[in-house]
Chain A
Amino acid sequence: MNLYEMSAAMLARKLRNKECSSQEITQSVLGRIQAVEGQVGAYITLTPEQALETAKQVDKRLAAGEKLAPLAGIPIGIKDNICTKDVVTTCASKMLHNFVPPYSAYVVRQVERAGMPILGKLNMDEFAMGSSCENSHYKKTKNPRDLTRVPGGSSGGSAAAVTAGEAILALGSDTGGSIRQPAAYCGTVGLKPTYGSVSRYGLVAFASSLDQIGPLGRTVEDVAMLYSLISGYDPKDATSVNRTYTDFVAGLNDFQVNGLKIGIPKEYFGDGVDQEIKEKVLAAIKLLEKNGAEVKEISLPSTDYALSAYYIIACAEASSNLARFDGVKYGYRSGKGEGLTEMYEYTRREGFGDEVKRRIMLGTFVLSSGYIDAYYKKAKATQAIIADEFRAAFEQVDLIMTPTAPDTAFRIGERSADPLKMYLSDICTVTVNIAGLPALSVPCGEIGRGLPVGLQMIAPHFGEDLLFKAAHYYEKISGLRLADVAAL
């Protein structure tokens, strides 16, 4: 087995046992990138020299007998909406084609402190708006399981890189499903953490009250390791929750499935979801039941309104967050037009892609005078109801399980003509962001010609511990070769 195919946990053990070096691991992954990146297109920017330099330093310190962080020496890719000092950070947009941040995000500093070589910046839908990675200004990433299909989005590059062996681990971001849905489409593991458990400082904001940075990896244990590193209180993020964040890896196997109460909300198994996907997901839940879990049908009636509430809130916040892209201080500036107003208007016309412009305008509309009550304030009230329904449900069950996506990876170009159809990919995931809950997607099988299906597990706030344990347990009993790198 090549080093690039191994899990982070495995590689960390090998490093500690001096069976290999970080430079070897990094070289292996870089070699893989060289071999397949032409087909996959997961990266916007590669930083091999910096990665190897970090690996070299880690090897030195290991040789000197230093005790390093658990993930030291494990190469990682970072979604390109997370600021990396001195490395161009584009958000896959023409608007930021040359933006070099003078500072790094909190999570990047954590990753650097741990000694993880950063391989490069991963492709995404422009400003995290999209579900297919087709809205990138630079390239369309391909799904490594089937190169004619999308990897999902907006963290398409992150999921594809991990699946293709072009990174051992990756960081993505999730506002309405942008980590989970690509994880499901590519057949890998992704976590959208509890809102406030991972600092957003340095994440280019899309929807401030919904965004979270999260880990992707090929196994639940790997994802738990990365989450342990990036979660924590950051005073620079006022929405970051100040509490004790434990290690999530040590007790992974310390789990009793007996008596685990699983809720299956009927609204997530309706007509909007592929029949075969429903079957695969229910089969996975049945397997857990066979081993001792209790399964209960529950109802989250306001799920029907979730997509509306989500798009109103997300676009409203986005319209404000993206207003700073005006050609004055950084990024693209149009040469067209006369005077200040036209400079703004042409810069934003030319710098933003169509989907971004649509969402900004919708957001402006729902906040505008005369409409804010009917749209934005109504949506916020709906948000409260959705959150309440989850709270009530968690009084009855420990975890809620649903399909991650209503479909499998569609063909490139198939949906791009109809934005509304694209939005429907989010129906199983947006409620989680609306309620601020943690949710994990773990592969639970394939349908058709090897198209992965994701099982979504949702826990109460700060319930990542239970998520990891249950999902890790599922990995073990499923008998699926889930952690395999895609053949390319």
Chain B
Amino acid sequence: MEYEMIVGLEVHAELSTHSKIYCGCKNAFGGEVNSQCCEICTGLPGTLPSLNEKVVEYAIKMGHALGCTINPVTKQDRKNYFYPDLPKAYQISQYDLPLCEQGHLDVLVEDEVKRIGITRIHIEEDAGKLLHDESFSGSLVDFNRCGVPLIEIVSEPDFRSSKEAKAYLEALKQILIYLDISDGKMQEGSIRCDVNVSVREKGSDIFGTRVEMKNVNTFSGAVRAIEYEAARQIEVLESGGTISQETRRWDDSKGVNVLLRSKEDAMDYRYFPEPDLGAIVVSEALIRQMKDALPELPNKKTMRYMREFELPSFDAGLLVENRDKARFFEACTAIGGCSPKNIANWILGDITRILRENKQELPESCITPEKLVDMVARIEKGEISNAAGKTIVEVLLAEDKDVAQIVEEKGLGQISDSSALEDLAREVLAANEKAVEQYRGGKTNVLGFLVGQCMKASKGKGNPALLREIMLKLIEE
């Protein structure tokens, strides 16, 4: 029996607003415990929430990025449950009227485009953090994170493999960063993920019973969790059992999940409209304005680079991943005069390496698109060698000089004058009669040695391709 897995993802992303969602406390990671709190976000009696306008804006931006319909009139609802990290014993969220609905995300999975449906995006507040340690007298609660704004992005159950899920998560993270609405730092908890998995016989169109998994904290962890759960479900079914609707907790260090809540224990959240907040109304004008202001999104950009510049998907992806590099690359291609592929190679190769060594970001260096294009054009024309380029680019990054200056200062001009090279080649041939005989005798790889000798004689300035040609011609004479 062959099975296929069906996966849906619920991603929570922390928004990078200045202040929290319902109060003016600072929204920042890593503060000293309970030092970024007020009476509102610690749920003191008598306090009331006040909705941060930026949260609504950022959510709408994400909605546009994922092709969603934006609901111009929405509300918030209370989700009631008891837990120590939830000070009011209810979370202010959105239940049946989310801010954004019915979108999609096109994701590249091993060079193929897969469309993932987005059911909804809604806004809600984050809870605090529980700290555990054997030395503590109990569990400790830190409310700094309480009230940090979240958007929850719910996908349709469109994933059929863990690879697809991972690609989606990476794409989503990129978009969040590109839109400047979240820092996307998983290690700081800026993105969290709940996973829904079910399995069914391949070819069937009936959905199996779905199991929800919590505590998935990394993208690779999501892959492991999905693989594990799918396998677990298949095993249950193969041994004649049935899958019950439950919530399980993923333990990445052990690579297993355990039952957290069965269907019978399912929480009754008693959702009802938040009486302390009124209608959230967004004008059509504002919705349109934000749609127009949307930048080109990373996945679209990647596909465009592949199409327009014929870059392989891996390279395109690497360029897009870093907004500065993407911008730089696009500026170079706009100038024109050389091959985008070569530009890309220089950016992703030597430039990236040198920046990393110097712990620098691209905008902090001295290189400009004009200068890089200048250099690459000269290499393509044969005026300088590739090897010379490596030297030049290092200087371009470090100092405010232009290519011509550097070529002159370092004497890097490549000799491409055929007659000059021919003279040089004849000298080398004359000095290496034995090699020439070996070549004529069938050892064709001796040519490389002879070209190498020419390069040596030219102090590296000879155009190697041209030299090779000339060599061949002379030998054949």
Contact = CB atoms under 8 A, between A and B. Distances in A.
A and B part of one assembly:
yes
B67 interface: no
Contacts of B39: 101-103
A200 B43 contact: no
Interface stretch (A45-53, A145-153, A368-376): A368-376
Contact of A324 (B89, B268, B272): B89
A203 B46 contact: yes
B49 interface: yes
B197 to A, nearest CB: 25
Interface residues of B, number: 27
Interface stretch (B78-86, B200-208, B251-259): B78-86
A105 interface: yes
Contacts of A328: 84, 87, 141
A238 interface: yes
B277 interface: yes
A208 B277 CA distance: 10
Contact of B278 (A81, A239, A323, A340): A239
B44 A320 contact: no
Contacts of B51: 238
Contact of B46 (A204, A207, A376): A204
B82 A326 contact: yes
A238 B88 contact: no
Contact of B272 (A83, A91, A235, A367): A367
B286 interface: no
Task: Tell me which of B39, B47, B90, B278 has the highest count of chain A C-beta atoms within 10 A of its own C-beta.
Answer: B47
A205 B48 CA distance: 9
B46 A208 contact: no
A369 B271 CA distance: 9
B88 A324 contact: yes
Interface residues of A, number: 43
Contacts of A367: 80, 270, 272
Contacts of A200: 46, 48
Given A320-B272, A323-B89, A372-B272, A329 B42 contact: yes
A89 B84 CA distance: 23
B50 A235 contact: yes
A232 interface: no
A369 B82 contact: no
Given A103-B39, A364-B270, A317 B275 contact: yes
29 contacts: A83-B44, A83-B45, A89-B45, A101-B44, A102-B44, A103-B44, A201-B47, A202-B46, A202-B47, A203-B46, A204-B45, A205-B276, A235-B50, A237-B276, A239-B276, A239-B277, A320-B80, A320-B89, A323-B88, A323-B90, A324-B43, A326-B82, A329-B42, A329-B87, A330-B45, A368-B270, A369-B268, A372-B272, A376-B272
Interface of B: 39, 42-51, 78, 80, 82, 84, 87-90, 141, 268, 270, 272, 275-278
Interface of A: 81-83, 89, 91, 96, 99, 101-103, 105, 200-205, 207-209, 235-239, 316-317, 320, 323-326, 328-330, 340, 344, 364, 367-369, 372, 376
A-B interface, 10 closest residue pairs, ranked by CB to CB distance from nearest: A323-B89, A208-B275, A367-B270, A209-B275, A204-B45, A202-B46, A83-B46, A369-B268, A204-B46, A103-B39
